[in-house]
Structure 1
C-alpha cells in the first residue's frame, strides 16, 4: 500500500487511504484538514477537550487529534476503517465511533465538520448538530473553497445558523457559525419512491445513491436478470437502497442475498426495503456495512451484482470499481458470475477481461452496458 507523510500542526503522521493502490496519487488529507488543524493548534486546547469529528474521510483529523477525547461520526465504513488503521500505524488511540444512522448526543466542546458531497447528508447532519451547538459546542467547518457555494451557505442558514467562510488558504476555507443557533425541528431525511413497474416501494435515507428516482444503470441491470443462470448465493455489492438484491430475491426466491455497502444509511435503507418488499419473515438476507467485501468470511457467491460508483467523495475515478471487481473475483465460486452495469465510456470491459480472462455484453442502451464476467480459474491465495 502507498503511504504519505502528513506534516500536520500536531506532528508528522504516516497516513494511507482506501482502496489501497500501489502507486497512489491521492493523499489521505487535503489543505482544508491542514487549515483546520493549524487553527486548533493556535488555540492550545486543553487535553480534556471533547471533540466530535464529522466526515473525516480517511482519519487524518482523528489521528492528528488522538491525544484529545475524540468521537468520529461518519457515514462510511472506509472512514471508520482508515481512522482505526491510521491510528495504529502512528501508535495512536483510535477515536470513539458513531455511525451516521445514530445521532450523536451528549456534551462536546468542539465540533469539527468536513463538508460532505451529498446535499441530503449535509441537511441531515446540520439539523442533528444544531442542538449540540446550542449546548455550547464550538463549530468549525472546513472544505476546499470550490465546494462552498451559495447553496451550501443557504443550507447552513436554514438548518443551523448563518455561516461565514474564512479567507482562503491554499484554496481551503474554514466556516464559522454566526449569530444564534436556530431551533429548527429535525425533519425526516427519508424519501419514498414507488416503482410500479417493478412492484416495489423504496425508502431512501440521506446520502443514498439516486434517492429521488430509479437510476438508468439499475433500470437496465434489472432488465438483464433474466439472462443470468439461477444462483443460490448472491451479493449485491454497493447495494445502496438494495434494489438489485431485492429484485434478485424476487426473481430467485430460494437464493440468499448478501447486501454490502460503504454507507450506514444505505444499509439501513436496504434493511427497511427488504422487510417492506419481501416480507417481515424474509430471512434469506444478510447485511454488511463494509469496504467492498473486506473481511467477508461467508460462502463463495454464485453471482455478484454490481453498479459501482465512479467517484470517491469529490474524486472521479475507477479505483472503487477496481476494488469491487478484485473482491468479487476473490469471493466468487468457480464458474461464478460478476454482473456489472456501467457507463459505456468507463471501459469496465477492459478491466474485467484482464481480471477474469473473459467478458461479454449481455445488455446495453445508448449510454450503459451490462457486462458478465465468469470466474474460470481459482483465486490466488
Structure 2
C-alpha cells in the first residue's frame, strides 16, 4: 500500500488520489514537497498566496494556514480538495478552487505553481501570472524533471525574470522567478486551430487543450461515424460529447442537425472555454450546454448518443483507469435505446472493458493504432 501521509513542516497530512488508482499511487510527488518546503521558508502571514494547478490538493492544503487562493485547469481538483480536506479535520477547509472560466483577481505576493508538461501552456501561465503578481512578488514553479516541457528554459526566460534554479531533489526541480514584462495582451499563441470540413469556422483551442493545432488521429477515425449516427436520431434527441477537447465531434453533430440538444463536457476548463469560443464562431452557442466536469454529473439525465475519445493519461500516469470510469458513467447516462460511439488506442483492449458495462459492443472502424466501437445497453 502506498503511503497516504505527507510529512511537511512538522505536520502530517493525509492525502489520497481519487478513483481507481488511489491505492497504488500517491496524491503528491517530490515536486510538491520541494515547492512546499520553499514556500514555507518564504511566506509571511500578510502575503496573498496563489496556487496554480495543484494536482490533488497537496499544495493548497499544505499551505492552508495562509489561506491560499487556488486555480486549476482541471475540475478534478475541487473533488480532491473536498475529500482530502475532510481527511484532515484539524485543518481549515479550503474554498472552492477557481478555474480558467472564473480566474481570480490579483495582485498576489507569492505564486506556487506546478510546471505543466506542455511548453505553450507554461508560456501562457507565466504571462498570465505577470499581470497578477505584486511588484515584489515571487513565483515558485516546480515539477518532476522528466515531465518538464522541452525548451522550458527558453519559455521562462521569454516571460519572467529567473532569480534562481534550486538544486534538484528526488528528481524534482523548482525555479524561483520574479515578474517579467510579457503579458497575454497581443500574444499570438493563446488561440491556435485548424479548418475542419463541414464547419463554418475554424476549430480553435487554448494552450492546455490536447491536439489544438490539428485533428488528432483518434478523432479522425471516429469523426466519419458521427454524421450517420446523428442523422438517425429523433428530433429533440440529447447528445453528449464527453471528454470533448476542442469540441470538434460535437460541433460536427450540430452542423448535421439543428433539432438536437448537444452537451459538451470536459475536465479541462480551457477545453470548455475553447468549445464556447468555437460555438460562438460557428453560430451554435444557443443550441449547446457546457459542463466543466470530471466525467458526467449525476444530475445530467439520459442521452440518446454519447461520443467519446477518452484520455489515456493523467499527468505522468498512463493507463485505462480514466476510460473505465467514463465507460461506467456513460452506461449510467445512456438511454435504453441509445448508443455510445468511442475510439481508443488498440493496445488498451477496450473491446474487453466495454463489455463490463454494455451488452452490445461492435467494432465499427479500425486502423493500425486505433479502434472505433459502438456500444449499447
Q: TM-score when scaled to structure 2?
A: 0.90
Alignment pair present for 1:335 and 2:337:
yes
Distance in 2 (CA, whole Å) between partners of 1:245 and 1:16 is 34
CA contact (8 A) 2:262 2:287 kept: yes
Distance in 2 (CA, whole Å) between partners of 1:146 and 1:100 is 26
Structure 1 residue ranges, 4+ long, deviating more than 6 angstroms after superposition: none
Q: TM-score when scaled to structure 1?
A: 0.89
Please point out which of 343, 346, 350 is paired with 1:344. Answer: 346
Distance in 2 (CA, whole Å) between partners of 1:307 and 1:153 is 33
Alignment pair present for 1:269 and 2:279:
no
Structure 1 residue 40, shift from structure 2 partner: 3.2
CA contact (8 A) 2:77 2:97 kept: no
Alignment of 1:262-341 (within 5 A): 262-277=267-282, 279=283, 282-293=285-296, 295-341=297-343
Equivalent in the alignment of 2:106: 106
Equivalent in the alignment of 1:249: 254
CA contact (8 A) 1:118 1:207 kept: yes
Alignment of 1:1-381 (within 5 A): 4-9=4-9, 11-18=11-18, 20-21=19-20, 24-43=23-42, 45-91=43-89, 92-95=92-95, 97-133=97-133, 135-148=135-148, 151-162=151-162, 164-177=164-177, 181-186=179-184, 187-188=187-188, 189-196=190-197, 200-228=201-229, 229-230=232-233, 232-277=237-282, 279=283, 282-293=285-296, 295-375=297-377
Structure 1 residue 196, shift from structure 2 partner: 3.5
Distance in 1 (CA, whole Å) between partners of 2:116 and 2:325 is 23
CA contact (8 A) 2:345 2:370 kept: yes
Cα deviations by residue, 1:279-310 (Å, 9 ceiling, x for unpaired): 26x533111000111x3313311111000111
Q: Secondary structure at the match of 1:303?
A: strand
Task: Give me the CA root mean square deviation.
Answer: 2.2
Structure 1 residue 22, shift from structure 2 partner: 7.1
Cα deviations by residue, 1:154-185 (Å, 9 ceiling, x for unpaired): 100011123632212111122112xx643124
Q: Which sections of structure 1, spanning at least 5 residues, go unmatched?
A: 376-381
Distance in 2 (CA, whole Å) between partners of 1:313 and 1:148 is 11
Q: Closer, same or farther in 2 for the Cα pair 1:85/1:48, shift >3 Å?
A: farther
Q: Secondary structure at the match of 1:334?
A: strand
Q: Which sections of structure 2, spanning at least 5 residues, go unmatched?
A: none
Distance in 2 (CA, whole Å) between partners of 1:185 and 1:77 is 25
Structure 1 residue 10, shift from structure 2 partner: 5.3
Distance in 2 (CA, whole Å) between partners of 1:65 and 1:197 is 49
Q: Secondary structure at the match of 1:283?
A: helix
Q: Closer, same or farther in 2 for the Cα pair 1:204/1:10, shift >3 Å?
A: farther
Distance in 2 (CA, whole Å) between partners of 1:287 and 1:4 is 35
Q: Secondary structure at the match of 2:341?
A: strand
CA contact (8 A) 2:198 2:255 kept: no
Q: Closer, same or farther in 2 for the Cα pair 1:341/1:133, shift >3 Å?
A: same
Distance in 2 (CA, whole Å) between partners of 1:66 and 1:162 is 27
Q: Secondary structure at the match of 2:328?
A: helix
Q: Closer, same or farther in 2 for the Cα pair 1:238/1:304, shift >3 Å?
A: same
Q: Secondary structure at the match of 1:224?
A: helix
Structure 1 residue 35, shift from structure 2 partner: 1.7
CA contact (8 A) 1:10 1:64 kept: no
Q: Closer, same or farther in 2 for the Cα pair 1:10/1:332, shift >3 Å?
A: farther
CA contact (8 A) 1:66 1:95 kept: no
CA contact (8 A) 2:204 2:213 kept: no
